[in-house]
Amino acid sequence: MSDIYKALDKKYGGEDGLTYNMMSRAILDLSITDSSLLDVIYESVSFYTEDFPEGEGWGTSDSRICVNSVKEAIESEIKHREAA
């Protein structure tokens, strides 16, 4: 298990399954290796998963929107860090 997944499990292992799984998927899909970005990933993912109604199916389009949101948040964070 890579370091970012260990950090994800340690810091966010208690989150609901949808949030944790979408964070893990975003890390994989976007090839994120910097664990200092976990809070940014969490904020972006939880925006979509926090109030998602139980009983409704989370679909492919939901996943795509969520991962794209993470991508934008990560890009913004990296630009912010580089400017500092």
Going residue by residue through the chain, which has 84 residues, state the pLDDT in tens, using 9 for 90 and above.
689 999 999 999 999 999 999 999 999 999 999 999 999 999 999 999 998 887 788 999 999 999 999 999 999 999 999 998
Domain boundaries in the chain?
3-83
Burial string for 48-84 (b: 16+ CB within 10 Å, else e) reads: bbeebeeeeeeeeebbeebbebbeebbeebeeeeeee
